[in-house]
Structure 1
Amino acid sequence: MARRRALPTNLPESVVANPDELAECVEHVRAASCLALDTEFVGEDSYRPDLCLIQVATQDRLIVIDPFGTGPLDAFWELLLDPARVVVVHAGREEVRMCRFAIGRPPANVFDAQIAAGLVGFTYPIGYAGLVQEVLGARAHKGETLTDWRRRPLTPAQIKYAYDDVRYLLPIWAWLTDRLKRNDRLGWAAEEFAAFVRRAVNDDPAVEKWRKLKGMGGLNARELAVAREVFEWREAFAARLNRPPRVLLRDDLIVEIARRSPARAEDLHTLRGLPRGEADAILAAVRRAHALAPADCPEVTERDNDLPHVSTLASLLGVVLAEYCARIKIAPNLVATTQDLKALVRARQPGGRRPPESALAAGWRAAFIRPHLEAILDGREVIRVSDPASPTPISVHPFPAPDDSAPAAASRESAAEPDDRI
């Protein structure tokens, strides 16, 4: 993709470190129709990440907000709730979550540059420094990635890094927006941004968090109920102590407790790594699970027992998807996963139905991408190797017209006859 020259980014810079400076900053941002946003935080030893820095760019200024000295930030976060104000982020899951944690709602109008880049042909996910280099021809230094942002005073290197994290976002936003308009994909982007915000706030609403624990595959419905109750207790316990949940009780121990379904404290004491003094609370969670009616226990998720041809056809669709995405300049792994492709194949099996959680079942993917994949499954289009030496060696073509298909039909018939030759 053609690189653009670096755009002017020598904007005035300011550090906001007290309530008066924050009030002036809020008034400045209030007048802006768009802003770039990034945050620095430390999350290794707390239930929710500790916010250590907020970086903001408008068309006129670069701002670093130090929350350790400014007092409450509600007035700033509330500015992000205005749908008329675009909030530009890069891989901005934590920025969305920080806003939600602070005032109960996520930003109303998010533009994620990483997602937008994938929709116009860049690799997905592309890092911030790589995107800056590709779009603007500039270099964004990432030397402070592992710094401890809680320590004060901040060093000049940390402050420069903080400014650079938003310095280029608005020029990139303008460039990507122009590309999305040219390709008539603004609607696609809006759909993706909305889904991204939902996932950031709710993780994946289609998948219960506790089901992501490893080792759940062999549990029956009652044992799954135990795992769910203990998991939910751990979440509440971690929130109360403001500690990472897995530090307090490892995932594998939750699964082991579910397998054993202990009835007494002595049964728990044989397990290493349980939090001290919490045996009664864990046993209470187990008892709650056993008190449930069978109909209220979680359903056992059946494993996919696909016949070999399902995986074969899904792999073929992966080739077709890669070819089509290269042609229309979009990142294929942003479009569909292997599981999405398998779901499409399963829908063609006897009695098969397309699961509602498949990404290809709705939105722009269903309207613009799925028909090309279904054309292959239905035999309306075929693929062939057009040039083995080309970076795009595969091409897709309509199935030959009836009067052109006789040789192919004859070939199929002869191939079906027994071969008596030695």
Structure 2
Amino acid sequence: MSRTTAEIAARARETGRLGIDTEFMGEGRYQPLLCLVQIALDAGDGESEVIVLDPLTETYDPEPLADVMADPGVEIVLHAARQDVALLRRDWGRPLRNVFDTQVAAGFAGMRAQLGYEPLLKETLGVRLRKSASFTRWDDRPLTDEQLGYAREDVLHLLPLAGALQDRLAELGRLEWAREECRAFEDIDDRRDLDLVFGKLPRVNSLEPAQRAVARELVEWREEAARSGDRPVSSVLHDAALIEIAKRRPQSTDRLRQIRGLNDATLHRRGKAIVEAVARGRERDPIPVEGVRPTQPDAEDAPLIALGEALIRTRAMEAGLAYELIAARADLQRIITAVRADEDEPAVRTLQGWRREVVGLELLELLHGRRALRVGPTRRIDITD
């Protein structure tokens, strides 16, 4: 490491920005292991200084970097930032502020959504990368010269790329749209919310309240077993098997053995602990299904979804925006379900912020019968009142 973390942070504050990327290993673990952190500092004249931190072999103080990345006065540049932001927040204990994601920016600049770093660099700056080491073992030490070269190159052009994209977006009047979209990264956190995990279990709402209490206890037991053993949650106990155990509530390993989805290795290693978790769940207060069940999708919604997609794709092409930035099928389904049931507008991204301006209001007009689509003389879709 050529600079201390305090020096890196001070330079980032001087220039007002910092580029960052990580290498990690997630296979076979409870959570991904942060293996390398690559930082790009603005060296002037379009050049970058690259520093590589190795969390597995180096001793360094992450506090100055954590502080600077939480400083809204410093722009933090990443590409496809979600996993990097989650890892850094978890390991360094701070949220990231003022994130600029070059992948998100590309979608607003008329390029396709989720464009990879290599093709984006080639298209924007004419730079070609050597991606030979991307799928190597980043948790093995020592790292090879090839791996270190790859890691450094991954951030070397990140700041110039961000600058070029920002210039293009400013010309299009969309720079603030991209910044608004990137603010969502400030809320990313990879800590698992067990209430959400429980709520997303398949068929959990079909269980009786006493069975749901057992399922909640099994969720807590499984999480701790996965965390303490540094294993993926699904390798401890699959969701389908968890629900079936909660439904049957076995009181012995013999009864547990009769449930499908549990292999011999799981029964041998974890059978006793599962039965004990079931017993604790039996002692918990029953958990009723709360709230009113929302209006369900209708099979006849499919044509309306297709109609909405046609409108959104048309406006996206006209605006030079990636369609995926504006809506997902799930967003459309919620909007259409709410319109059909005469409910309030759902809190989906398509009806909020800049998306509402581009197409959200028009989509509502279409679904209420106040707009129409037709094939015009040029064999393209026209939208009419």
Which residue does the alignment assign to 2:230? 242
- The corresponding residue for 2:318 is 327
2:77/2:101 contact within 8 Å kept = yes
| Amino acid paired to 2:344 | R
Q: 1:24 to 1:188 in 2, by over 3 A?
A: closer
Aligned match of 1:233: 221
Equivalent in the alignment of 2:360? 370
Aligned counterpart, 1:54: 37
Number of residue pairs matched by the alignment: 375
CA–CA distance in structure 1, aligned partners of residues 313 and 69 of structure 2? 37
Q: Deviation string for 1:242-272 (max 9, x for gaps)?
A: 2222222233322332232223333224432
Q: Could you tell me which residue of structure 2 aligns to residue 39 of structure 1? A: 22
Is 1:182–2:165 an aligned residue pair?
no
Question: What does 1:52-131 correspond to in 2, within 5 Å?
Answer: 52-60=35-43, 61-75=49-63, 76-131=65-120
Could you give the per-residue CA deviations for residues 219-243 of structure 1, whole angstroms, max 9, x where no partner exists?
Answer: 4554444333312321122222222
User: In the alignment, does 2:274 pair up with 1:282?
Assistant: yes
Q: Which amino acid in the other structure matches residue 249 of structure 2?
A: S
Shift in alpha-carbon separation, 1:280–1:363, aligned structure 2, 3 A = farther
Which of these residues, 132, 136, 144, is aligned with residue 143 of structure 1? 132
Q: Which runs of 5+ in 2 are unaligned?
A: 44-48
2:183 to 167, 191, 194: 194
CA distance in 2, matches of 1:288, 1:302: 31
Deviations 1:128-165 (A, max 9, x none): 11211221122122221210112233222212211121
- Which residues of 2 match residues 199-348 of structure 1 at below 5 A? 199-201=188-190, 208-214=196-202, 219-270=207-258, 271-272=262-263, 273-274=265-266, 276=268, 278-294=270-286, 296-297=288-289, 304-308=296-300, 310-348=301-339
Aligned match of 2:382: 395
Q: Does 1:133 align with 2:122?
A: yes
For 1:300 and 1:238, the matched residues in 2 are separated by: 33
Aligned-residue Cα RMSD (Å) equals 3.0
**In 1, Cα distance between equivalents of 2:355 and 2:234:** 36
Secondary structure of the 1:47 match is: coil
For residues 278-298 of structure 1, what are the alpha-carbon distances to aligned partners after superposition, in whole Å with 9 as ceiling and x for unaligned? 445433433444444455556
SS at match of 1:55: strand
Instruction: Please give the residue correspondences for 1:407-422 in structure 2 after superposition, counting only pairs within 5 Å.
Output: none
Q: Secondary structure at the match of 1:36?
A: strand
Amino acid at match of 2:112: T
Give the number of the structure whose alpha-carbon radius of gyration is greater: 1
Kindly indicate whether the alpha-carbon contact (under 8 Å) linking 1:223 and 1:258 is maintained by their aligned counterparts in 2.
yes
Residues 218, 121 of structure 1: alpha-carbon distance in 2 compared, 3 angstrom cutoff = farther
SS at match of 1:31: helix
Query: What letter is aligned with 2:277?
Result: A
Q: SS in structure 2 opposite 1:347?
A: helix
* Structure 1 alignment gaps of length 5 or more: 1-15, 400-422
Question: More deviation in 371-380 or 220-229?
Answer: 220-229
Report deviation, 1:344: 1.7
TM-score, length basis structure 1 = 0.79
> 1:105: Cα distance to partner?
2.0
Which of 144, 149, 152 lines up with 1:160 in the alignment?
149
User: How far 1:103 sits from its partner (Å)?
Assistant: 3.0
Q: Are the counterparts in 2 of residues 106 and 201 from structure 1 also a CA contact under 8 Å?
A: no
**Percent identity (aligned):** 34
Counterpart of 1:394, as a letter, is: I
Are the counterparts in 2 of residues 221 and 298 from structure 1 also a CA contact under 8 Å?
no
TM-score (structure 2 length as normaliser): 0.85
